[in-house]
Amino acid sequence: MSRYQGKLDSGGGQEAHLGVLLVNLGTPDAPTPDALKRYLAEFLWDPRIVEMPRPLWWLILHGRILKTRPKRSAEAYRSIWTENGSPLLETTLELRAILQRLLAERLSGPVKVVAAMRYGNPSIREGMDGLRAAGCERILVLPLYPQYSSTTTASTFDAVSDYLGRLRHIPEMRFIMDYHDDEGYVRALANSIQEHWARRGAQPDKLLFSFHGIPQKTWRSGDPYPERCHNTARLVANRLGLEEDSWQVAFQSRFGRAKWVAPYTDETLKRWGREGLGQVDVVCPGFPVDCLETLEEIGQENRRFFREAGGGGYDYIPALNLRADHGEALANLVMRHVKGWPEAESAQEPGCGDGV
C-alpha cells in the first residue's frame, strides 16, 4: 500500500475549487460515559493540551482521569443536550450553512464550506476528505478560536498538517490564525451586549468577560492568548463606552492542580456575590458558539456560585451563534484571506455599516 493518498474522486459533479474548513473544538457523540471517555481520551491526549511526558501522562490519564471524569462530564452534558443533539455541533453546522450562502453570493467562483471538529466528529480528516472530494484545489482553514492559543489554534494546525503529510497532491493552503481584534467580530459582540441591555432596560453593576483559561506555564512559555483576550475585552468595552470599573476579564474552566492564568471566573463571581452586587452580566467572547463551558459552566454553575454568595441578578449573554452580524463578520474575514485566489477575483467585501 502506498504511503501517500492520491486524489479523491469528486464524483463527476461540478468542482468547487475553493474550500473553507470551518473548525470548532469538538463535542462527544452523546451525553453518556462511554461517549465522553472516547472524547476525553482524544482531547486530553493531545500534547498541546497537556504538556507532560507521554508515558507518565498515559498512566495518569488512563489510570485515574478516564475512570472517573467521563461520568461527571456526561451528567453536565445531559443538562444542555437537546433533542437535536449537541448544541455546539448543531449550531456550528448551521453557521456553516450561513457562511456557505454568504460566500457563494460574494465570490466570483465556486466555493464549498465544510465544518469539522478538532476532537470528535465530524473530524478534520472527514472535513478535508470532503473538500478534496469536491475538487477543492485551494483551502482556507478558519478555526473558530478568535484569540490565538497554542492549545487551540496551533492544535488545529497540527491536525491539518498531519493530514496534509499523508497526501501525494497537496492543495494550496491558507490558515487564519486569529481574529481577536477584527472589527466585525468586535462589533457583533458589542451589538449583542447592547441589545441584551436594551431588552432588560438597564446596564449591570458589572460586566464580566469570561474566557477559557490556560495554565500559567503555557502563558509564560510564550503563548499570547491572555493578552489577546484582554485586548478583545478592551475593544468591546471601548465600543460600548464603558467605565474602567464597570467591567473585568476573568478565566474559566480550570483543570488539574497547576496554576492557571488568573483571575478565575468562579472566584471573581463569588467575591462579587459577597459584595452584594445587584446585577452581573457575563459574556464569553472566546466561544463563538454556545457549548458546555458557556451553557452549563457559566449559565448554571457560576450563576449558582454568585447567587449563593449573596449576589442578586445574573444574566449570561449568549454567544454570537447564528446572529446575522456574526455570519457577516466571518464572511468578511474569509473574503480578506482569499484575496489573490481566482475565486475572489472581482469580488468585493461589502460595507459593514456603523453598528454600535
Residues 174 and 187 placed together within one structural domain of the fold: no
> Is 99 in the same domain as 129?
yes
The pLDDT score that the predictor gives to residue 281 is 98
Its domain, for residue 165, covers 18-28+86-178+325-344
Residue 351 has pLDDT above 60, yes or no: no
pLDDT attached to residue 355: 43
Which CATH number covers residue 136? 3.40.50.1400
Q: Is the pLDDT of residue 352 over 50?
A: no
pLDDT digits (tens, 9 = 90+) for 128-148: 999 999 999 999 999 999 999
Which pTM was predicted? Answer: 0.94
pLDDT bracket for residue 299 (50, 70, 90): very high
CB-based burial of residue 64 (10 Å sphere; 0-12 exposed, 13-18 middle, 19+ buried)? exposed
Length of the chain counted residue by residue: 356
Q: Could you read off the pLDDT of 149-200 as tens digits, one per residue?
A: 999 999 999 999 999 999 999 999 999 999 999 999 999 999 999 999 999 9
**Does residue 356 have a pLDDT over 60?**
no
Task: Specify whether 269 is located in the same domain as 334.
Answer: no
Is residue 314 pLDDT above 50, yes or no?
Answer: yes
pLDDT for the residue 1: 60
Q: Which 3 state secondary structure label does DSSP give 49?
A: coil
What was the pLDDT predicted at 345?
Answer: 83
SS3 274: helix
Residues 22 and 146 grouped into a single domain: yes
Determine the pLDDT at residue 4: 78
Residue 12 within a domain: no
Report whether pLDDT(12) > 80: no
pLDDT tens string 39-58: 999 999 999 999 999 999 99
Task: Read off the pLDDT of residues 87-144 as tens digits, 9 standing for 90 and up.
Answer: 999 999 999 999 999 999 999 999 999 999 999 999 999 999 999 999 999 999 999 9
Statement: residue 321 has pLDDT above 50: yes
Plot region of 329 (φ>0 → left; ψ -120 to 50 → alpha; else → beta): alpha
Instruction: Report if residue 77 sits inside a domain.
Output: no
User: What's the confidence (pLDDT) of residue 45?
Assistant: 98
**Domain assignment present for 110:** yes
Give the cell for residue 285.
467572547
Do 290 and 195 have their domain in common? yes
- Predicted pLDDT at 354: 41
DSSP letter for each residue of 157-203:
HHHHHHHHTTBSSPPEEEE----TT-HHHHHHHHHHHHHHHHHHTS-
Statement to judge: residues 192 and 306 lie in one domain? yes
Is residue 69 domain-resident? no
Q: 223 lies in a domain?
A: yes
Closest CA to 323 of 129, 99, 144, 133: 99
Q: From the DSSP assignment, how many helices (H) and strands (E) are in the chain?
A: 13, 8
In sign, the C-alpha dihedral spanning 219, 222, 226, 230 is positive
Amino acid at 207: L
Asked if residue 277 is part of any domain, the answer here is yes
23/158 same-domain check = yes
For the chain, what is the domain count? Answer: 2
Residue 206 within a domain: yes
Same domain as 244, residue 151: no
Do residues 297 and 193 both lie within one domain?
yes
Do residues 75 and 296 touch, judged by C-beta distance below 8 A? no
User: Is residue 153 a part of any domain in this protein?
Assistant: yes
The pLDDT of residue 346 is above 80: no
The verdict on 280 and 333 lying in the same domain is no
Note the pLDDT of residue 349.
53
Beta strands in 28-161 (DSSP E): 111-120, 138-143
Answer yes or no: do 257 and 139 share one domain. Answer: no
pLDDT, tens digit (0-9, with 9 covering 90-100), for 222-271: 999 999 999 999 999 999 999 999 999 999 999 888 899 999 999 999 99
pLDDT of residue 350: 56
Digit-coded pLDDT (tens) for 192-225:
999 999 999 999 999 999 999 999 999 999 999 9
- Do 214 and 128 belong to one domain? no
Please tell me the predicted confidence (pLDDT) of residue 99: 98
Q: Return d(Cα 114, Cα 133) in angstroms, integer.
A: 12
